[in-house]
Amino acid sequence: MGAPPPAPHPDRKVVDAYGKGVITIRGEAFRAPIVLLPDAVLPWTFGEIGALTADDFVQLTSLEKSRRPAILLIGMGARALFVKPAVRTALRDAGIVADLMDTGAACRTYNVLLAEERRVAACLVPV
């Protein structure tokens, strides 16, 4: 039996719960889409979830390299949707590998990667 992943630092932004239109981060409820970084929660604005563009991720691609995530989990609501290849290319050019999934899976995966001290971020749409 393997050891559990190490507990994240007490100041890290961890997902406590998700569902019913809310994502709870360290006790604070968010009812709108967010960009979740280990040290910050930012509003995430975009035109339409099914038509994301590279501009919808500028908050991440414009971060200084030391703060920029290597892994981006995109929680797209109740189910994962596809993004245009140009979006993945723009993220990859910024050094970010994107993985699309439903929001629940993105929240769970974010917490595991954060506990492993990976350079991770998540863009999350409440379900």
Stated as kind and residue range, the H or E segment containing 104 is helix 103-115
Whole-number Å distance between alpha carbons of 36 and 50: 20
Specify the fold of 15-124: Hypothetical Protein Mth938; Chain: A, (3.40.1230)
* Tens-level pLDDT at each residue, the chain (127 residues): 444 455 557 789 999 999 999 999 999 999 999 999 999 999 999 988 889 999 999 999 999 999 999 999 999 999 988 899 999 999 999 999 999 999 999 999 999 999 999 999 999 999 9
User: Could you state, in order of their start, the residue ranges of all structural domains in the chain?
Assistant: 15-124
d(CA 117, CA 74): 18
pTM exceeds 0.75 for this model: yes
